[in-house]
Structure 1
């Protein structure tokens, strides 16, 4: 609605009476101008607060009080208007913004995680859960959460090193991003996607390099210890599916055949795609271009050895098997229900759809029972179901509840 501003002394649209010289009253004109300026300033502040409230509701960065400060005037009237606006005299806009920041900062997703040896004699799976990992500029300086599942082959070395170090390396990369590439426009979706891909590719590369030269047991460089045989390390590796959860996005980096899925509006949304030579024509082409081959024995294998085309480690199969992850970024939705990350010990015997329906049923229950949370109950049930369906591998499962009502 348009504002109607009446000048002092005006009655029913009539102009103020002129003085004896035929000139309008100067004091009345000055007062009218001041009143109009104050009304305009109030209106400008209301519009500004509404706009910032919409941004906050969409998860955008919440401005400081300074960002809506009015232009100072000589008569000090704007200072008083601003003081009323942020202290409650002119509405609750800033209070709403501060409450939004408080909720985002204090929110921690409920996570259930299980790593089980299963029917194997050795445990080569590892999982990582790091809530409130850091608050980087790329995420409006709000907290982000990290989850990972790592499935070792040829030994547990690379899976253990990923569990111990990947989150720390990721934190270094994301906190130091602007130092290396300059300020990031976090409001530009394309720039944001480019930045996250850069972060994860560097993170996976550094994690692999560290694992190739460091003992996971004692931390000795170049394996000058008796903990592990370096020749075995060079012939081993690990899958890695890592997820970063922010208030706006789900960022997934995948290398190998561990998998991440999202359940949204009753449907399964795949967040990663297995690097399987039998099902990935693009990966077969990439390997052939660099001189490698896919050999079909019992199943399709790179050089007749490894049944995945990407992994961390496996130095003896370079450059055919690479550690560069595929990165997908999914914008969060109010109807997102949960995430599942798991190794192939689960996915070999349970489809993504079945796993999501099992977890959904667990989430609907009134309480977790003897287990700490619905997420933990769901992860445990998935593990037991995989065993019942004949899984012969280690099983690593992480379930992340995205429903804030369950926190």
Structure 2
């Protein structure tokens, strides 16, 4: 076979066939688009020493595979001591990862992540309560994998998204009884009481609280002394950012008691993430003073070759109309993903704001492999699919998902207000 000279190759390039070097360059550019640059900054001021945070930028879905890397950020605001916040910081990520089946590709992993976060929060709560300590903590836990951001949260720490164009959106829901009517209904429906603190003379003061215990939050990790009405089931939201990226601000209530979401975002626009976190804390202290632990993490998710990491100031208010949350179409998600990313729309992939998860739990597990043994996603006990309920499934095959054992199912039912009033859940 005759060899092909350089001139032949040059002629092929002139006729429209790309050279190998060009293809490699294009592939590298596509990789930059798929794997954004993640920059972050953290700042804090301590009043009681009960705020903690977690920053891990080198996590891997597949051990030893850098291409499977993802980042984790969390803010934990303890109360009645710091033990629950410390335990959650040190163990929550492991509990989440242990609830995800092995061998999933990236798309399947992202689909399983919201349910794994639920299982991880519940397991962390259960394991901590076994220690017999009475402290509790809020937890706002953020996973960034490429352009996909998944947030799970209990309590009143908060995560907001400041997307390109200046639109500020909440990725969490505050679980303060004073402000969350749905949570008040859930607590009372499950047998709890909601009311203010009574003082001499019958007067009531302060925020609404759950009794017994008097906690003003409806969801947290720990708090074994305040009754089973306080649940660790998180609000979970998963979104995909456009290629223009965006800025995440995660902070404890020391920030949000002083600043609105818009005030926090506006106070640090145009600053790199490290300076932005300091600026948000300083603005909160200027507005309210140091009355509580104050912690803030700012994360910029941008294109890898972009020189300016932080969101730009909006030029005109009509820009906001083109930057809205929109649910993914089930007809042609890949085609729609490219279109939405091109126009700067944040895609809403998943949202679960209620503790009532029964509608999505697979109850009919009569399928192949029913004789195999599985592991409870919460307590790690060996179980069989016939005896238990799947928390989440990444495919249409229910036996491939994690499961809950009978005891953990009973506890979940108690959290959702499905047990009779007065029944003690062990």
**TM-score for both structures, normalised by structure 2:** 0.60
Matched, 1:300 2:200: no
Partner residue, 2:281: 383
Q: Deviations over 1:350-377 (max 9, x none)?
A: 110000001214x2xxxxxxxxxx2121
Q: Distance in 2 between matches of 1:136 and 1:103?
A: 21
Equivalent residue number for residue 5 of structure 1:
none
Deviates more, 1:88-97 or 1:260-269: 88-97
Matching residue within 253, 257, 273 for 2:156: 257
Partner of 1:100: 30
Give the corresponding residue for 2:113.
196
Please identify which structure carries the higher strand content.
2
Q: How many Å apart are 1:108 and its aligned residue?
A: 4.5
1:351 to 243, 251, 260: 260
The answer to whether the 8 A contact 2:114-2:238 is kept is no
Of 245, 263, 278, 1:336 maps to 245
2:129 to 212, 234, 237: 212
Q: 1:212 to 1:251 in 2, by over 3 A?
A: same
**1: CA distance, partners of 2:246 / 2:19:** 39
Kindly report the root-mean-square deviation, in angstroms, between the aligned alpha carbons of the 2 structures. Answer: 3.3
1:270-289 equivalent positions in 2, closer than 5 A: 270-289=170-189
Q: Quote how far apart the aligned CAs of 1:212 are.
A: 2.8
Q: Where does residue 186 of structure 1 map in the other structure?
A: 107
**Counterpart selection for 1:115 from 40, 44, 47:** 44
- Which residue of structure 1 lines up, in the alignment, with residue 101 of structure 2? 177
| Per-residue CA distance 1:57-105 (angstroms, 9 max, x = gap) | xxxxxxxxxxxxxxxxxxxxxxxx9xx99x9657844652355337756
Relative to structure 1, the CA distance from residue 379 to residue 140 in structure 2 (aligned partners, 3 Å threshold; closer, same or farther) is closer
Distance 1:109 1:251 in 2: 15
The CA deviation at 1:204 is 1.0
Query: Structure 1 CA distance, aligned partners of 2:183 and 2:171?
Result: 18
Inter-partner Cα distance in structure 2 for 1:316 and 1:131: 35
Residue 315 of structure 1 aligns to a residue whose secondary structure is: coil
Cα displacement (A) at 1:284: 1.3
TM-score computed with the length of structure 1 as normaliser: 0.63
CA distance in 1, matches of 2:231, 2:275: 35
Are 1:311 and 2:220 an aligned pair? yes
Q: CA deviation at 1:285?
A: 1.5
Q: d(CA) in 1 for partners of 2:229 and 2:52?
A: 25
Where does 1:42-81 land on structure 2 (aligned, <5 Å)? Answer: none
- Distance in 2 (CA, whole Å) between partners of 1:324 and 1:201 is 6
Equivalents in 1 of 2:79, 2:68: separation in Å?
36
Q: Distance in 2 between matches of 1:296 and 1:209?
A: 28
Q: Please give the residue correspondences for 1:7-18 in structure 2 after superposition, counting only pairs within 5 Å.
A: none
Corresponding residue for 1:366? none
Structure 1: stretches of 5+ with no match in the other structure: 1-80, 214-221, 223-229, 364-373
Question: Over residues 185-214 of structure 1, what are the superposed CA-to-partner deviations in whole Å (9 max), with x where a residue is unaligned?
Answer: 827xxx954x1221101111222233334x
Give 2:376's aligned residue: none
CA distance in 2, matches of 1:335, 1:328: 20
Does the aligned pair in 2 maintain the 1:177–1:199 contact within 8 Å? no
CA distance in 2, matches of 1:127, 1:140: 24
Cα 1:203–1:263 change in 2 (3 A) is: same
Give CA deviations for 1:268-321 in whole Å, capped at 9, x if unaligned: 011001011122221112111211011123111111611110000011223200
Alignment partner of 2:69 out of 140, 143, 154: 143
- Say if 2:93 is the partner of 1:167: yes
